[in-house]
Structure 1
Amino acid sequence: MDKAVRAAATASATMKLLEAADVARIEHLLVECAKDADFIVNEREYGQGKYPDDKECLRVVGHDKNGDPIRRQAELGRLKHDVAFACVQREILRHFPNNVSIEPRYVIRTGKGGQQDIMKPDVVLRFQKQGIR
């Protein structure tokens, strides 16, 4: 009986380590995708080895539906998000196809009157515990 308890405890500890390692790997992939997107968009928009300065980031490039200014920094952020998100979908789904949801939608009830918000995160990690055989 003692051996079975130790085996179960060891298996549980190993699963936790594997899950922690998987989370660390996914975090690394997210960071790498963000770095790559920053580089790719800056190269495409400004040329080799160049990036926007503060004046460029604050430049108004348009207006939203309320007439508020849209600055270049917001536009660059959207472009970089698009490139990073494509990388995330490609890389994380390739390595962890059963543990990741891309852009799931969650309905959150926010008040007594039945008010709801919809939350749509980019990526949600899911790790299922597997039984011991």
Structure 2
Amino acid sequence: MVQVIEAAQGLLTLQRLLTEAELTDVQTIVEQCVAQAHADVNEAYQKQGGKFQFKNGKFPNDAECGRLVRFDEHGDKVTLAQELDILKHAAAFACIKARLPEELRDHFSVEPRYKGDPEVNGAILTNNKPDSLKPDVVLHATRNATHIQCVLELKFPCYEKHRLDPLHSPGVEDQLESYKRLARNCQVILVTPSGRTPYGGG
């Protein structure tokens, strides 16, 4: 009986969830890293000089956001808005991983991919892309990315109307709505350089 109790306690320790205070701490780190990535990438991009200079000095205007900067490996066009988004996501992920306390790192996953599992009324990890979900940041039970506590989606709006109202940028609300069934212990959270917004949805 003692061994059974000890084993159960060990399992609970292995599978523990983040406390409310820890969730808040991690969310604050994510928010700060998103703001830092936004500023750092804009500054670094401008230091390249020439055609990369933003007219307003700090961030691109709408015309600059839509400018073609390269073609990807599939031959598709990549605009400045898309290029900055890629760079800022990478910078934010690196910042979060560097700043996250060691004891919380087993509760954190970047861009895991899920699909629904009707048999358990939940989600499982998958490599299959069709109809799967890939949130930016997931907070979960210790070393168990399928026991999800919280989903945070990072956005770096480039166009002015999207900066002013990121929640209603094209596709964002649908994306957050799809994540609602993953989050168990907190709302899905949208994080932009302007701050974080819990999403309740319809």
CA drift of 1:61 comes to 1.6
| Corresponding position of 1:81 | 89
RMSD, aligned CA: 3.0
Higher helix share: 1
Matches within 5 A, 1:109-124: 117-124=131-138
Unmatched runs of 5 consecutive residues or more in structure 1:
1-15, 129-133
2:107 to 99, 105, 117: 99
TM-score (normalised: structure 2): 0.44
Unmatched runs of 5 consecutive residues or more in structure 2:
1-16, 48-56, 119-128, 143-202
CA 1:116–1:59 in 2, change beyond 3 Å: closer, same or farther? closer
Report the number of matched residues: 106
| Corresponding position of 1:61 | 69
2:139 is equivalent to residue 125 of structure 1: yes
Segment of structure 1 superposing worse, 24-33 or 91-100: 91-100
CA drift of 1:66 comes to 6.0
Higher strand share: 2
CA drift of 1:121 comes to 3.2
CA 1:95–1:28 in 2, change beyond 3 Å: closer, same or farther? farther
TM-score (normalised: structure 1): 0.63
| Corresponding position of 1:5 | none
Match for 1:126: what amino acid?
A: H
Match for 1:31: what amino acid?
A: E
Distance between the aligned counterparts of 2:78 and 2:63, measured in 1? 14
Match for 1:22: what amino acid?
A: E
CA 1:39–1:95 in 2, change beyond 3 Å: closer, same or farther? farther
Higher gyration radius (CA): 1
